[in-house]
Each structure stands twice: as C-alpha cells, then as structure tokens.
Amino acid sequence: MMDQSMKAGTPIALCTLLLISLTFIYLLSGENPSVSITSMTRKLHHSKHSLAIHETSMYRDELETALEGASMANKTVIITIVNRAYTEGDKPMLDIFLDGFWLGENTRQLTNHLLIVAVDQTAFERCTFLRLHCYKLKTDGEDFVDEKTYMSEDFIKMMWQRTRFLGDVLRRGYNFVFTDTDVLWLRNPFPRLTLNETIDLQISVDQFNGNQWSQTNPINTGFYMIKSNNKTIALFDEWYGQRNNSTGKKEQDVLVELMQKSAFERLRLRVRFLDTIYFSGFCQDSRDANIVSTVHANCCRSIRAKVTDLVTVIHDWKRFKDPSRNKTIEYRWSNHLACQKSWIS
C-alpha cells in the first residue's frame, strides 16, 4: 500500500520541482520568461568574472598601485628613498634633488616616472604635497625619521631595509633606476644607459678605472639601473640574505664581497660599471661638463655638508649654462669643501 502511494506521488513531486525551477529562471531573467538556460548560465559566469576583477583591484596593494602609476611603458621606474631629515630645513635635500630635474637638460618629464619612497609620515606628507608619485614604506617598527650618520648602526639598518624593498620591486616585474636623493640629474641619463637586453645591472662607481666591464671598479649603490629577471632577483635574495652575517658592514660592502666571490659569474649576470665622465660624484668629478649626466654627493659624511656642496653644484651648473660664459676657458667645478671638512669635524 505504501509503495503504491509513493508511485502515485512521484509525478506530482516532479511537476512541483519543475515549476519551482521555471519560477527561479523567470525571476532571474527579469520580465522575459522566454530566457534560455544557456543565457542564464552566461549571465552567472559574467557575474562571477566581474566579481573576480573587482576582488583583484580591491586587494592589489598600495605598492603595486604606486609602481604602476610611475612606470614607463617598458615597466621601468625611477626610485628614491627619503626620510624626514631629507624634507626639513631651509633648503631640504629633497628640494635640491628636484631642482636638478627642473634645471637639467631633458629631465623635467622624468619626474612623471619618479617614485618617492618615504620611510616616515612627514616625508610622505611632503611628497604628496608636491604632487609626486609617493609610497609609504612599512619599516617594521624601526625609526628612520632623523638623519642617520654614515656607517652608524641605524644607517646600516636603513640600507638593508632599502635593499629588501628594492628586491620586492624586482619580484613584481619592474625594472628601475635607483638614485640616492643626493644625486643631481643634470641631463637625462637614459641615452647613456645601455638598453641592451643582455645587460642586467649598470652601476655607478666612486673612481672609474677606464674599463666599463672591470670588477675592480669601486661600486657605489647610490645610482644604478637594473632589469627585473630571475638572475637579478636571485642576486637581491642572496644579497639581502647576508645581512645577519655582516655586522658592521653596509649593504654596499656586502655586494662588493659577493662580486669578489664571483657571484656575478655564478648567477650569469652581465654588469656594466658607469664612467664618471657621465655619472660623476664628489669622489671623482666629471672631466667634461658638456656631457655629464649626474653628480652624486658621495665621499661626504653629513646631510648638511651634502646640501652645501650640492647647492654649489647648482650654481656651477647655472654658470656653465649661461650663454654669456667665455667658452674658450676650460670649465672647472668648484671644490667640495663642506664635504671634505665633514670627515674631520
């Protein structure tokens, strides 16, 4: 008797289920009851795809947004890192740095691709006030607000923090030119930087030995261009991984040690060392102001001394660019007196 009642109820149950399904399709399709199952499936798939895109943009982090905003078409960014000490004073270092782009040859448009990485809130607010591309670096509770004297413990910590951050930029697929804020860009340096895909790293030196491929050149990590690839990412991973075994050494010293231990060859890196005639500094002035691209306040101990001598470089540059200048007389840069004295005061 029970089996017969179940058999009798089966068609009714199937009809009820079919009616509910048709009602559901009708409600999803608006007021078009003739909508097909295929059409409904496409609508649901499109909704899921849109949601996925929305979630991706929601969870894309601030660094990716900042890099994308400053990037050139070939995913290359110019990066500098500042703290409060570089944004305060009668003539802050950051302002002098930007003066170089304003006064330089074919450099103004490069600020469209400049990303200012701030390690504290004051520096970040100054950057946003200037309407530049800005990113606030998370520093794991470290205090990098004030001036960090060359080779002090905090200075070394800040350099390693910088290395970790720049490695992250490479892992995201961005090439970059890293520049210290005490580098004046007097001419667009890109025509002097080889865009050959086979060159992984082009790095400045304190004293150029005449051979752009020689690893005996004393490198300076205050200015370099690097391509994002597996080799350079591996270099930064190994470089940063040495930090705990390098007490009292700045990150540049450790990179030199890696180079001397044939890390460049082992990783199959092609590295070019930049001639100081184009990429100069206070350690070695450019021999020719007609072709120099950058001037770095290296071989200098304090921000105050750097500011004083960089302002002198700007005056020198204006004097050099003066149409009334006697061009028959060999042009010479002023001596970097404040920086020379910074080592003995």
Q: pLDDT tens digits, residue range 56-112?
A: 344 459 999 999 999 999 999 999 999 898 998 889 999 999 999 999 999 999 999
pLDDT classification of 149: cutoffs 50, 70, 90: very low
- At residue 36, the pLDDT reads 47
Query: How far is Cα 39 from Cα 174, in angstroms, rounded to an integer?
Result: 41
pLDDT for 266 beyond 70 = yes
**d(Cα 161, Cα 139) in Å, to the nearest integer?**
7
What DSSP element (H or E) covers 58? helix 37-59
Q: Which CATH architecture has domain 62-278?
A: Alpha-Beta Complex (3.90)
Average pLDDT value for residue range 251-277: 95
Contact assessment for residue 200 and residue 232, using Cβ atoms and an 8 Å cutoff: yes
Stretch (H or E) spanning 202: strand 201-205
Predicted confidence (pLDDT) per residue in 111-137, tens digit = 999 999 998 899 999 999 999 999 999
User: For position 57, what pLDDT does the model report?
Assistant: 40
Token reading at 22: 């048709």
pLDDT at 138: 81
Q: State the average pLDDT for the chain.
A: 84
| CB distance 182 to 296 below 8 Å | yes
Flag whether pLDDT at 227 surpasses 70: yes
- 326 versus 296: which is more confidently predicted? 296
- To which residue do tokens 């040690």 refer? 257
Q: What is the DSSP letter of 152?
A: S
Q: What is the pLDDT of residue 196?
A: 77
| Chain segment 153-199, per-residue pLDDT in tens | 566 777 888 899 999 999 999 999 999 999 999 999 999 998 778 89
What are the φ and ψ backbone dihedral angles of 322, each rounded to 5 degrees? -65, 120
Q: E strand or H helix at 164, and its extent?
A: helix 153-171
